[in-house]
């Protein structure tokens, strides 16, 4: 799954620490999501989308390995 978290966060002028505080997660969680090392829970994915005011599909894009890459 690909995501636009870094792009959206930087566009909002936020650090990873600031975003993490808003979402009540650790900076390490934000970093791992941004670097595709962790897929957030469905609840956290929706919180991220709501925070940035976007549909979840604009934040996360599912791609099957080998097909949509």
Contacts of 25 (CB under 8 A, 6+ apart): 44
* Span 30-51, average pLDDT: 97
Give kind and range of the element (H or E) at residue 3: strand 2-3
Tell me the whole-structure pTM to 2 decimals.
Answer: 0.85
| Reported confidence tier of residue 66, pLDDT bands at 50, 70, 90 | low
| Reported confidence tier of residue 63, pLDDT bands at 50, 70, 90 | confident
In whole angstroms, give the CA distance from residue 29 to residue 68.
25
Give kind and range of the element (H or E) at residue 23: helix 16-23
């Amino acid at each position: 799954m690909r995501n636009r978290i870094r792009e959206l966060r930087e566009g909002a002028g936020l650090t990873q620490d600031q975003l993490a505080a808003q979402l009540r997660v650790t900076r390490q969680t934000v970093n791992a999501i941004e670097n595709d090392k962790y897929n957030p829970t469905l609840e956290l994915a929706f919180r991220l989308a709501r925070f940035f005011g976007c549909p979840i599909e604009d934040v996360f894009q599912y791609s099957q390995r080998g097909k949509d890459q």
